[in-house]
Every structure is written in structure tokens, then in C-alpha cells.
Structure 1
């Protein structure tokens, strides 16, 4: 039921098990790898594809060497950077394994090795008489039990995400490697050439790549970071092809796309377009402005907030791109037509529940209203110390319960992640900056519409003139102090005179009330939406249209071809850029300040073996019609034989609304050509040790 007879265009972020049903499509595109092999996670190339948590990556040697995007490794680069050793500005290359730098507690490599359908077990105890909250909690209990069973061997991290908005559940088992080290990153002026100005734009000329290495204990099992650890022996890895691609060639892309909303209703689209995205963009911009002012006179503060700013700017540009995309093409109107067609089809089905769609519409309206309040709460609680205090108090309360009864995110399995988040602040926190952010956020919250104010919250929030005292009367800015509270009970926190812990105690009841309301609503949505999705799938299948689940950060495969596109009448953009374009764009000032040694190599025309026979020079980036989204950053772009030919890192600005609607005419993913990476490694950074480690064809 969940697999269409044929796909349309290159749309679809497919679960690997679905690929055998797409044989004709893969053949049409030109993929030579058997679909059955692509569906097998234990076989090449899927066994070489890994997740970094928020990005995708792949093994490229049998010694745990991982290639991903520069911006995906940015946290590790920033963590190791100081004004004296600024690896962001100057790049980093370990010429031996002893020189590799620790990626930090948040640098992880996840190797997916098992995916199983557990829908029956998740929904086994669900009854029609349950309230929304009871249903939500029953699903949560079942998922926790499935995870605990899966994680009996502690080398695994397991999850049970929903597919098709709760119609199906799959248990994903991943080996989690905890010792990850930075191996090589080019200078930021190469790895992020064009910066935020070029973000989501085409043409692009960015070398968005970095290398990490996964380490394990001597027994081959994941272990905490230690000098005694050894490189992980990856069973499979991708061969790198220097042969390149040409216009029209097929590609296969595998990675971990984050979130899409292809099956949402017109009312949900209009809420995102008219309310949620404008509010989100305004909030991010306001916070970025505060950070900019607060760090302008301190290089050390600017370095500490570099990763935060980069991440926020990326989200901001995508959000604005979504807004522009909605303005350019009325996706809600397109969905109106589809929705009307579906409802007409549904009304004719003999066993259709005639009350289903009315109930769905009412629940969506309630979801929108609650989302407004949740947004307001997120604004009011901006600030790292306040968030840390809230986490510590909730952890203390949950730790008093049996592990299986704790709130998701606060179980024993989550303690290492909580510790990592609390520790990470020492690389991305400055008291004065955090204070300015919270103070400004409280003012913004006060100005929000009443619909975004949370019941009971306003009276508990500090006045803006009281914010300085919060920081003066708190020790949570000190890492050791912050971590020490992880082992203390709720009574100790309640008795504390730390200003932020006291505030967290005051706010917790409101936060929990918001969560309880969300549970009730989600439980009802999880009852109704799967029925709706089952009907939508049946309707789409009757038309021979693609039926794949929305992206949810699980392993997916997509395909396409190297393709130009026309963003508007009279304008056509070709699928390749070249190193000569770097010289043309270079201004010598950020963000178009290419490294001098790069410019010298380009002007000397030292193309070597990486010269493209058609372009007559070295390619930098290229476009394909592959279906991607956030989380696909770092995804391996493979040729028809499964060899690495590029790294996905972005989409064109016109493509951003593909999270909601796939338009095959203008949807294009942007990839770094692997030949550019190899050329830089050889001619610019002289990373000969890594070139020898790679298998290059």
C-alpha cells in the first residue's frame, strides 16, 4: 500500500526498503546498482552512509575516515579555535593521526545497521476510548520499551520515529561512535566562500567539505574519548571517483534528511506562510542583531558565538526563502485544489468515516493555536543560562522516578547528551552576551500578540531591569558548577539561592502545563491523522503517484540527474561552476576573500588530472534534480556505480519551498564536485597523507 507503482519526475525521499519497487525509475534515470542491493543496509554503498546527528556523511576509508560538509564540522572547528590558533580562518590539517583534534562531546557518528517495522507493537495497547493524553502516553510507553530492548547492548542508540504522521513506526538501530576527531578542514574563506550572501544561491563556488575520523576502543566497540582508542574499522567505504559527471548524468544521493511537510493541509500551509514563518524570521533576526552588538568589540566573544551565528543565519535565510517561495507560487492554492479533489474522492468511498475530516480540521486549528503559545514560550525563555537551569531542575524531578516513567529526554540513556549540552556552553557562552539576549527577548515577548502569551507565564517572568541581578546572583556560567547540579535532587535545587535555578523552579509548572496540553492534542492528532494519511495514500496510489513518507531524520535515498534550470523567464542557469568563477567573485573582503594560495593555483592553471574535458578547467559545484532538504548536508552524491562524486550542501533559493511542495521544474540541489575537493587537497593544502588514504578512481 505504501509503495506507488511509479514515481514522477525525481521526487521522493525513499526508505531503503522501498527501492525494489522503484526498479523502473532507477533504470530510467540510469542507476546501475541493483535496487535490492540498495535496500540492504549491510551492503555497499548503504553500509558506508552515516549520520552526524544533524548532518549526513560517509566513510571514505577502512580506518574510520569520514567526509562531510565544512559547515557540518563547524562546531568541532570552532571548539578547537582560539584567537592564537584560529582554525576557522586558517583551516586545519592533521598530517598524522596523533595531530587529530577532539571533536567535542557533541561530535558523534551514527551507523545505521537495522530498521524494522514495529507499528503493531507501538499501537498494541491503544483503545478507542482513550483520551488524547492517555493515547500519547501509551504510545510513549511502548516506544520506550522498544528502545530499552534495542539498547540492551550499550553500543547502540535506538529510536522509534513515526512515518506518515503516525500511520507507521519503525525502530532504527544505530551504532553510536562517541570519539570523533577533526582531521582536516579548509580555511573558512574556501569552505564557506560567499558566506551568507551566497547561501541558497546559484551559481556557487564553495568548497564545503571537511574530514573527521571515528575512533573506538581496542575491542572495536564504541568507547568514550581516550588516547588509547583506535580508528574504527569501517567494513565498507565509498570509492572516490575523479572521473566526474556531465550534464544529464544520473546521481544517487543517500543521507538523513531532516523534516518535510509534503502532506500537510492547506490551513497548515497558510499558518506557516502568514504567521509562523514571519514570526520566526523576525525573532531570529532580532536575536542575531543583539549578538552582533554584544560581540562587536571582542574577538574572543565573536569566536565563541561564531557557530551560533552561522547556524541562526542559515535558518533565517531558509525561513525567508520559504516566505519568498510562498509569495512567488501560491502553494496553498495548489493544495486547495488537491485537497478538494481528495475530499471528493473520499466522500465516495463506501467505508469512509464521514466525521473524520471535520474532526481533523478542528484538531489542526487547535494545533495552530497551541503552536502560537509554544512560540511565545520559546521567545520568553531565550538565554543559555535559563535553558540550562530549566534542564537541571527537570532532570532532578525526573531522576526521582523509575527510568521507564521519566519524561523522554531525561532517561538514563540521555544523561550523556545533557552533560554534553551543558559542557558545550564553555565554547559558546559569554555572560554579557547571554544577558543582552535574554533582556531583549523579554521585551520582544511582551510585545507579542496576546495569542502568543502563555497562560500563567507573564506574572512569573523577571522585569527587564532585574535581568542583570539574575546573572550577578548565579554561578551557572561556570562549567564545573553547572555540571555539579546534575547529581543533585529537586529539593537541593529548590533550596538553592542561585537566581536562575530559582527562576527555573518558578517556571516549571507553566512549562509542564504547556507540555500536558501538547500531549492531549498530539494524542488526538495521532488518532486522526493516520486515518487521514491512509486515505491519502490510497488516493495517491489510485493515480499512480509517489507515496513516500515525509522526511524525519532517518536514512533515505533519492535520485536525479545533473540538470540546469530556469528560475524565471529568459534566464537559464547551467549545472556547473568552475574555479575561474572564484577569481571573478573574489573581492579580497569577506565573504568573497579567497585564500591567496588558492588564487595562485587557479591563475597558474595547475589543473592536473582534475581538469574536466568539457569545461576545460576544474569544476567547483554542480546542480542536480535530487530531492533533498535540511539534514542532507554532507550526503554522499554518487554516480551510477555508487562511487563518490560530490557532497550535497545546499539548495537553490527557488527550491526552498520543496519542503512543502516538490516542483520538478525549479527544484535543484547544490553539490560540491569531488574533483574540486581533490584538487584543493593536492594543489592548495597539500593534504597528501589523506589523498593516499582515499581510494581514488
Structure 2
């Protein structure tokens, strides 16, 4: 008997004793696995599991960066504690510290606004649009031109899908650019905080226990989705009503026993199962150590700059929580590399694949050489991007750069604007700029940026974007920028939306001036990334096609790496 469907993020204690078969399958792939699902005791028909309009898949939803699920007919949503942390922090003050003490809305009138970044996505439709993205691309295009043509097609597909403004659509790549699926999600914009445990419960064991199993922790929070009286998504309003979820999950009161089937569904971030040995070594030796060093230093600065000030501590609680989460995960990955020689395992797999390809592969003869060159360019560009992020590690500078880029893109027809700066994105930009009000202190931002500039100055000069050094302020000369800017004020910050590019060039605001001066360097790096991505998008899908053929020759099925989209796996307790 199949007892329950649970989210991977909310599985908690079950995860310690549940064994999952390998795979992060797209729902439409499940009918191919029906005999295996039946074998372990999952009685829900595979065809129903592939139908996003039916139970249980219609109950599986997402919040930004997290998995969640409906657990009542009235829009009640359960997700992880850290996934509700932004809403918890937004409503906390030193006097009403819901982070430390928890929160419970005893009535719906007591529920608190989640804030502009707290939304719920309900996936309603997924369709294969690979041909519409890739068919007819000229073979001789440069990487940049190819990437931009693909992006133009994706933007057209999204615009077509979003003719109904209740929906947010996306066209992510699967199999590293070999397939594209258009995903239509209902976007619920009024989401309220219902319950959060005290931090001593929701974060019991702290980051030492994070990502460790078995783990004893109350890692959950409850939100509620609201819509207009017509049942359609609406901006936050006291007149809104709870969303009537068509389907929701029910916790089994029977509990679980050894051998019970488990189906896991959610929105996992990213996996790297098909990375090449060179990419694994780059992660192990360069990328992950740099990330650990940077985040560790940043957290130390935040702790020192907020010490003794309860208001500052509350403002940066969500930032610190997010950084600690990434830090623990990255350290865990490095520990995994230390315990097991993943690169050597990848070497053996790669050697086997290359031998097979030379004998049986039907793709281009120069595929392997082109692949290695594209990966090398990707890694070199990634190092420059890391240096750029350190050099510009200021929330006010990021805001200024976003505002200036928005003004520049606004000069173009909407379809020609860069993704992320179209009309469909303006409300999200406003939300980010508004959210800063609850998570920013000038002195803390300045301390973080100063420390980041020190780290940048110590980095390999060859790995820095060309021309950037000459444009950056001195580490000891940041105070005047913060003293003379108006961007720390939310109303004035938002007031820059809609101004033309010339107003930015004439501005005396030091952060606006710096954003203008940095723009060309940033664009050069962005253009390089497009060239690299275009070449990857051309060669890696051919590689993945060959990998699929190689796996099939061994009788092994293939699923795409996780990319933040809805996935399913299964196993038994």
C-alpha cells in the first residue's frame, strides 16, 4: 500500500533510513519506469504521476529556490524552515524577534505578509520545445551569435506563454542544452507567514548538523497562498482570499516501517553527474576552495559588524543563514572529494566513454577536442566571474548597476532586451530593491565590500576582468561613497526606475557614477560568457547524445541533471 508522497526537502528523519534508487526523473519519464515503480510497491499509476494537473503532482509547488507542497484545500503550504526565513526575518524586530522565538498566527487575520520576494509557483504544464529552440540554427555561427539566437527564441516562447499574466513561464535547458522544455507556472504573489518554529527548534544543531543524516530538527515552516476573489493571482491585499488548492498532501498517521515505498518529488537545485574530469578537478581544486574562503571571510565580517546591535543582527540574519547553508554544502562536497577520489572515478568513466566513442560514436570526429576546448574556456571565464563578484560585493553597487542596466535596456524594444530586464522582470527588480530595506545597513555593507576588495587584490591578476582594477575605489576610500549616496533610501532607490540612461550619466551619486564606469567592463565579461555558453550549447548536447547512446549500449537509462525544475525519485524505507 502506498502511504504518502513527501518532499525531499521535508523528509527529515525518513531520509536517514530511506534508500532511493538512482535518478532525478522528469515526471513525463515515469511511465517508462512503471514496472520498477510497481516492483517497489508504488500503486499510483505512473501515467497519473506524469500528469501535473492531478494528485499528487499538482500539490508539489515551489517557492524561490525551494520545494514546498500544499497541505490543505485553503492554500496552506509547508516548506523548510530556511525557505521561510526571508519572511520570518522581514517581520522580525529586536522587540518581536520571530527568528529567535518563532511565530504562530492563531487566526488568518494574524498571518504576516511574506514580503515582495515570497511567492509560490504552481507548475501546470511542461512541454518539449526543443525543435522550436534549436531547429534551423546555422552551423557556422559564432558562440555568441548562436547563444543570442537561442535566447531570442526562448524569449519569444516565454512571451507567447505569458499572454495570461497570471503565469510565469521559463524555458530551461536539459542535458546541458540538448533539450528545452517550456514550463508554465501559476505565480501566486500574495503569500503570508503562518507558522515558524523558534530558531532553537528550526535550526537545532546549527550548521554543524546541516546536510547531515540522521538529523533531529524541526526544519519546517508554514505559509499560506492568497489570490483575488476571482481566484486569480493578485498583488497583496487585505481583500484577497486563500487559494483553493485543487490537490494537497495528507500526512499519514500510520507512520512508516521498513520496506515501505517512498516517492520523493520537489525542485532540486543543480547536480553535476555528467561533468567531465577536468570540471571535477576545477571544482575540487579551484572553485569550491575559493567559495569556502570567500564565504567564511564574509560571515566573519558580518558577525563583527553586527555584534552588539540587535537590529543589525536581525537585518542580516537571513543573509547569514543563506551563506551558512552554501558554506556547509560546499565544505561537504570538499569532504566528499577528500574521502573518495571522484576525479579518478570520472577518469575511468571518461576513458571508457572515449574509447567507445572512437569505435562506435556517430557524432563529429572532432567532438572530443571541441568539448575539451569549450570546457577549458568555461573554467577560465568562471574565474573572471568570481573575481568580478568579489570586486563588486556591495548591495548598493549591485542596486546601482541593476538600475543603470535597466535604463539602458529600456531603450530597446522589449523583445530585444536582455533576459532579466524585460517588462516581465520589472516587478521582480522592484521587489529585490524593496527587500533591501529589511536586510541592509550601510556600515555593514561597507565592511563587507572593503573585505571583498582585499580578497580581490590578493587574487591572481591573470584571472581578473581586463580593465577592472583601474576603476575600483581604494579599500580605504569607501566611506565617502556611502556618505554621499541616496541609494540607501528605499524611496529614492526605487525612484531611479524609469529614468533614462542620460540621467545616470549626469548623476553625482557616487554609486551611480561607479555603476556607469564599470558598465563596459561588465558587458565585456558578459559578452565573453555568451561566447563560451554558445560554444558549450553547440558541443555539449552532441556529447550528451553520445553519452546516452553509450549508456543505452550498457542497458542503463539516463536522466538529466537537476536544474531547479520538478523532479521525482523513488525508493523504500
TM-score of the pair, normalised by structure 2: 0.96
Q: Which of 11, 22, 32 is residue 43 of structure 2 equivalent to? A: 32
2:26 matched to 1:15? yes
Q: Which of 48, 64, 67 is residue 59 of structure 2 equivalent to? A: 48
Q: Which residue of 2 aligns with 1:653?
A: none
> How far 1:207 sits from its partner (Å)?
0.7
2:58 matched to 1:65? no
- 1:202, 1:53 → 2: CA distance? 25
Q: Which residue of 1 aligns with 2:187?
A: 176
1:414-450 C-alpha deviation (Å, 9 max, x unpaired): 0011001100111100000000011111111000012
2:145 matched to 1:140? no
- 2:146, 2:503 → 1: CA distance? 34
SS of equivalent residue, structure 2 residue 284 = helix
Paired residues of 2:361 and 2:546 also in contact (CA < 8 A)? no
> How far 1:149 sits from its partner (Å)?
0.1
Paired residues of 1:68 and 1:211 also in contact (CA < 8 A)? yes
2:523 matched to 1:512? yes
> How far 1:352 sits from its partner (Å)?
3.4
Q: Which residue of 2 aligns with 1:354?
A: 365
Matches within 5 A, 1:415-564: 415-562=426-573
Paired residues of 2:61 and 2:120 also in contact (CA < 8 A)? yes
Q: Which structure's residues are more often helix, by fraction?
A: 2
Q: Which residue of 2 aligns with 1:106?
A: 117
> How far 1:175 sits from its partner (Å)?
0.4
Q: Which residue of 1 aligns with 2:254?
A: 243
Matches within 5 A, 1:623-642: none
2:326 matched to 1:315? yes
Q: Which residue of 2 aligns with 1:224?
A: 235
- 1:350, 1:317 → 2: CA distance? 40
Comparing 349-358 and 403-412, the one that deviates more: 349-358
Paired residues of 1:122 and 1:169 also in contact (CA < 8 A)? yes
What CA RMSD, in Å, does the superposition of the two structures yield over aligned residues? 1.1
Matches within 5 A, 1:341-420: 341-349=352-360, 351-420=362-431
1:37-57 C-alpha deviation (Å, 9 max, x unpaired): 101111100011101021011
Q: Which residue of 1 aligns with 2:350?
A: 339
Paired residues of 2:363 and 2:542 also in contact (CA < 8 A)? no
Paired residues of 1:369 and 1:451 also in contact (CA < 8 A)? no
- 1:348, 1:464 → 2: CA distance? 57
Which structure 1 residue ranges, 4+ long, deviate > 3 Å from structure 2? none
Q: Which residue of 2 aligns with 1:567?
A: none
Q: Which residue of 1 aligns with 2:133?
A: 122
> How far 1:248 sits from its partner (Å)?
2.9
> How far 1:24 sits from its partner (Å)?
2.1
2:327 matched to 1:327? no
Q: Which residue of 2 aligns with 1:194?
A: 205
- 1:422, 1:267 → 2: CA distance? 38
> How far 1:209 sits from its partner (Å)?
1.1
- 2:310, 2:410 → 1: CA distance? 40
- 2:479, 2:42 → 1: CA distance? 61
- 2:498, 2:138 → 1: CA distance? 39
Structure 2 alignment gaps of length 5 or more: 1-18
| Structure 2 CA distance for partners of 1:352 and 1:124, relative to 1, 3 Å | closer
- 2:76, 2:211 → 1: CA distance? 28
Q: Which of 273, 295, 299 is residue 262 of structure 1 equivalent to? A: 273
- 2:551, 2:53 → 1: CA distance? 32
- 2:151, 2:132 → 1: CA distance? 12
> How far 1:353 sits from its partner (Å)?
1.7
Paired residues of 1:67 and 1:209 also in contact (CA < 8 A)? yes
Paired residues of 2:20 and 2:569 also in contact (CA < 8 A)? no
> How far 1:9 sits from its partner (Å)?
6.7
- 1:242, 1:324 → 2: CA distance? 38
1:574-625 C-alpha deviation (Å, 9 max, x unpaired): xxxxxxxxxxxxxxxxxxxxxxxxxxxxxxxxxxxxxxxxxxxxxxxxxxxx
Paired residues of 2:102 and 2:199 also in contact (CA < 8 A)? yes
* Corresponding residue pairs, total: 555
- 2:439, 2:528 → 1: CA distance? 33
Paired residues of 1:372 and 1:451 also in contact (CA < 8 A)? no
Q: Which residue of 1 aligns with 2:164?
A: 153
- 1:479, 1:332 → 2: CA distance? 48
- 1:193, 1:465 → 2: CA distance? 39
Matches within 5 A, 1:88-103: 88-103=99-114
Q: Which residue of 1 aligns with 2:14?
A: none
Paired residues of 1:125 and 1:138 also in contact (CA < 8 A)? no
TM-score of the pair, normalised by structure 1: 0.79
- 2:307, 2:369 → 1: CA distance? 53
Paired residues of 1:214 and 1:232 also in contact (CA < 8 A)? yes
1:328-362 C-alpha deviation (Å, 9 max, x unpaired): 10111001111111111111126332111011101
Structure 1 alignment gaps of length 5 or more: 1-7, 563-697
